[in-house]
Amino acid sequence: MDLMAQKQAEWRWGLVGNIIGEHEFGENRDIYYGTKHFSSGTKVYCAPAQWGDGYENIVVIGKPRHSFKYIEIVMSSNMIENFRLQKVYKPAVLKKMADENSWGFWGNTDEDKAAILDMRLQSEGFGLVSKECVWLSFATDSFLFGKIKFYSWADLENPDVFNEVQLSLKK
């Protein structure tokens, strides 16, 4: 494994949340704690948006009620609270995130961090500026990693590129 691959495996950015506590369910409005799979307060690691449903359903990784092994399921975002950005270090979670059949979890780049912050802030767009470049991500592109716009400072010296960036920020 080369150095870059090792660094990728050490940690990843993740959107994490906790399973809600007490909530009503069903016609009789019975009180339940947590969900069928997770106890209330369980930390879950959320995948990027998958279906263009406005993040109503989320692929999550978490420890279920009656097992010590992490599972990966699709669940309603209404059952998750306290969303936040975190670095993920747990080897078992990282292994599930990196699985080739996985749902495209974020990596450990600045672009990945920006995409998660975009979702977390529920903004229309997000920009990240560094010494090397500018990244722009927009809700209209579902904050998808492949649609993040990247501009080096040299690119921005071109008036056409600069105007394109300026127009996209005014939308």
The mean per-residue pLDDT over the stretch 122-144 comes to 74
Report percent pLDDT > 90 for the chain: 28
pLDDT at res. 1: 41
- Point out which residues pair with 60 in neighbouring strands: 46, 73
The residue written with tokens 């996209």 in the block is: 168
pLDDT at res. 145: 65
Phi-psi region of 119 (alpha: psi -120 to 50; beta: other; left: phi over 0): alpha
- Point out which residues pair with 161 in neighbouring strands: none
Could you tell me which of 117, 119, 127, 124 has the C-alpha nearest to residue 148?
127
The reported pTM is 0.68
- Tokens in use for 51? 């279906």
Confidence class of residue 111 from pLDDT cuts 50, 70 and 90?
confident
Could you tell me which of 113, 160, 116, 110 has the C-alpha nearest to residue 132?
110
Considering only CA atoms, give the Rg of the chain. 19
- The rounded mean pLDDT for the chain is 83
Confidence class of residue 18 from pLDDT cuts 50, 70 and 90?
very high
Could you tell me which of 14, 59, 23, 67 has the C-alpha nearest to residue 41?
23
pLDDT at res. 147: 75
pLDDT digits (tens, 9 = 90+) for 42-92: 999 999 888 877 778 999 999 999 899 999 999 998 899 888 899 999 999
Alpha carbons 10 and 97: distance in angstroms, whole number? 12
Whether the per-residue pLDDT at 161 is higher than 90: the answer is no
